[in-house]
Amino acid sequence: MSTSFDLREAFAAKQKHMLSGLGLMPNFTNHPTAKGDATEERWIRMLSDFLPRRYGVGSVFAIDSYGKQSQQIDVAIYDRQYSPLFFEQGDLTFVPVESIYAIFEAKPELSKDYVEYAREKIASVRSLRRTSVGIRHAGGTYPPQEPTNKPILGGLLATETSWTDIQGKAARKALLTGSQSDRLDFAIAVRDGAVERVGEELVFAPSDQQLIWFAMRLYKRLSMLGTVLALDLDAYGHYIEDVLES
């Protein structure tokens, strides 16, 4: 005989746990109150705990097979199951752009200036060249995937917003600005709300559920992307030949 399971209560408890991981605590009205701002490291830890282990989460530089490099990304979600070629130098991690699922800036607040700054960071990754090769299987070979069919998600993570109303005209204008190269797909101000851009429309989180809503919507988008591109090892590998021949 089956018993009931309160999903609403379970999601509420999960959000409280996630808020605690960000260094924030919900008060009796369920609005987060500060123990401090959610830092880059706390966002990384919280998303790492929430997402399946196939996803790596960390601060990275993205690189491509032409030797180009992005600006440093505060919080990147990347493949850790199929993708080789992770380079580390001290505390710095360099990840092939083909392995990147999503990139986020972590800032104290959601504002027009920080949105513009995040768009610049996002563009520095999306402008890199992504390779793709076919994948062999028992019945033959899957053709290379078109990189444009696997867009790199981008967003801004913050504790609060400088806008009086996150759904107001000024916020909407800033959040809908941008082209395919630099647009934001997600933005969250943990104390004030969360939003996902779907085409030319903005979808907002229900009140008091913004963190769990954001995490669930992000995971849905990641799942829709499937696996990352199979990168062209030869495109990267010719640098090894150059080193050996020099």
Query: What's phi and psi for 179, nearest 5 deg?
Result: -105, -170
Report helix, strand or coil for 203.
strand
Which residues are catalytically annotated? 74, 105, 107
- Walk across the sheet containing 100-110 and list its strands: 87-89, 92-96, 55-63, 73-79, 100-110, 153-161, 186-189, 193-198, 201-204
* CB contact at 8 A, 76 and 121: no
* CB contact at 8 A, 99 and 152: no
Angle (CA) 237-238-244 rounded to 5° is: 100
**Residue 94, exposed/middle/buried by CB under 10 A (0-12, 13-18, 19+)?**
middle
* CB contact at 8 A, 110 and 190: no
What stretches of 22-89 show up as alpha helix (H) in DSSP?
A: 40-50
| Token pair for 94 | 């360099």
